[in-house]
Amino acid sequence: MDTIDASRMDDTLIDVPRGLTNVVVARTALGDVRGHEGFYHYRQYSAVDLARERTFEESWYLLLFGELPGLSELDRFRERIAASRGIPDEVERLLPGIARTARGGDSLAPLRMALTALAATDGLQPLYDAAPEARVNAAIRIAAATPVLLARLHAYATGQEPRTARADLGHVANYLYLLTGAVPDEPHERALSAYMTAAIDHGFNASTFSARVIASTGADLAAAVCGALGALSGPLHGGAPSRALDALDEIGTPDRIDAWARATVASGGRVMGFGHAVYRTEDPRSRMLRDFAAELGGPRVAFAMEAERRILDVLAELKPGRELHTNVEFYAGVVMEQCGIPRSLFTPTFAAARVVGWTAHVLEQAADGKIVRPSSRYTGPEAPVPLRARVA
pLDDT digits 0-9 by tens, 9-44: 455 778 888 888 878 888 999 999 998 888 999 999
* Backbone φ, ψ for residue 274 (5° rounding): -130, 140
Q: Is the pLDDT of residue 231 over 90?
A: yes
**Runs of H (alpha helix) within 84-185:** 89-92, 95-100, 109-122, 132-157, 171-180
pLDDT in tens, 45-71: 999 999 999 999 999 999 999 999 999
Name the CATH superfamily housing domain 43-234+346-368. Answer: Citrate Synthase, domain 1 (1.10.580.10)
CA distances from 224 to 115, 139, 146, 216, 302 (A): 11, 11, 14, 9, 40
Catalytic residue numbers read 276, 329
Strands 39-42 and 31-34: antiparallel
Q: What is the crossing angle of helices 346-368 and 56-65, to 10°?
A: 20
Name the burial class of residue 92, with classes exposed (0-12), middle (13-18) and buried (19+) by CB atoms within 10 angstroms of its CB: middle
* pLDDT (0 to 100) of residue 383: 92
Q: Which of the listed CATH numbers 2.160.10.10, 1.10.230.10, 3.40.50.1000, 2.40.160.40 matches domain 240-338?
A: 1.10.230.10
CATH 1.10.580.10 range(s) for the chain read 43-234+346-368
Q: Is the pLDDT of residue 308 over 90?
A: yes
Alpha-carbon distance of 233 to 348, in angstroms, equals: 9
* pLDDT (0 to 100) of residue 11: 56
Give mean pLDDT, residues 103-131. Answer: 92
Alpha-carbon distance of 332 to 287, in angstroms, equals: 11
What value does the mean pLDDT of the chain take?
Answer: 92
* pLDDT (0 to 100) of residue 9: 44
CATH 1.10.230.10 range(s) for the chain read 240-338
Give mean pLDDT, residues 135-150. Answer: 98
* pLDDT (0 to 100) of residue 5: 41
Q: Is the pLDDT of residue 4 over 60?
A: no
Alpha-carbon distance of 86 to 276, in angstroms, equals: 37
Range of lowest pLDDT (51-55, 186-190, 265-269):
265-269
* pLDDT (0 to 100) of residue 242: 83
Alpha-carbon distance of 213 to 325, in angstroms, equals: 32
Return the number of other C-beta atoms located less than 10 Å from residue 300's C-beta: 16
* pLDDT (0 to 100) of residue 36: 83
pLDDT in tens, 321-336: 787 888 888 899 999 9
